[in-house]
A and B are shown apart, each in its own frame.
Chain A
Amino acid sequence: GQNIDQPTEMTATEGAIVQINCTYQTSGFNGLFWYQQHAGEAPTFLSYNVLDGLEEKGRFSSFLSRSKGYSYLLLKELQMKDSASYLCAVRGVNQAGTALIFGKGTTLSVSS
């Protein structure tokens, strides 16, 4: 089976740093993705990890540990516009082919 877990909700203040964790158990692994989804909109791509380590893209960083089945998304210098859901997704090597399997998402609320 496949299982992707992430916290349901998180809150933070402007200018702060927040870390959103994701743990996964999948039949095969071929990459982990993070997406941002604002209310009522489609998800947009944030980051991709396939090897262990940290990938940095501006204010956003994503980390992967394949042996632990663990990833996190780090958001720095939080802004109000970062209030959104953050989706962790895994691309497996299974009957779903190249499809991404998503966790339920973490709703982040940024306050001033």
Chain B
Amino acid sequence: SQTIHQWPATLVQPVGSPLSLECTVEGTSNPNLYWYRQAAGRGLQLLFYSVGIGQISSEVPQNLSASRPQDRQFILSSKKLLLSDSGFYLCAWRVTTADYGYTFGSGTRLTVV
């Protein structure tokens, strides 16, 4: 079956510290992968998307970067976190067995203090 894993579930980090969030997909190959952020009281904001290994497109210039070192692995990183980086980070992938249905991971709630 096709599943998506995202960790950690919650994270509290000090300002200026680095960040690494990981997302992996099972049961499929060459998926389209996406990172979204949901800040308090705001909608889901697309941060990055990737259509293949090493291929990253950024939608919003900011303090974050993304990498796709393997086909089914998508990583979100920051060298120095800001308070404004706090939010709910969601990884998603496009289900390839149907023309619809983007499935989300369980999310990481990041609090920068």
Note all chain B residues with C-beta closer than 8 A to A89.
44
- The answer to whether the Cβ of A66 comes within 8 Å of any Cβ in the partner chain is no
Tell me whether A87 and B49 are in contact (CB under 8 A): no
Q: How distant is the Cα of A102 from the Cα of B32 in the complex, in angstroms?
A: 17
Which residue in B51, B57, B99, B106 is a CB contact (below 8 Å) of A42? Answer: B106
Number of A residues, CB within 8 Å of B: 23
Nearest chain A CB to B112 CB, angstrom units: 18
In the bound complex, residues from chain B placing their C-beta under 8 Å from that of A98 are: 32, 49, 51, 94
Q: Does B90 contact A (CB under 8 A)?
A: yes
Determine if A102 and B44 form an interchain contact, defined as CB atoms under 8 angstroms apart.
yes
Scan residues 67-112 of chain A and give those whose CB is less than 8 A from a CB of chain B: 87, 89, 95-105
Cβ A42 vs Cβ B104 within 8 A:
yes
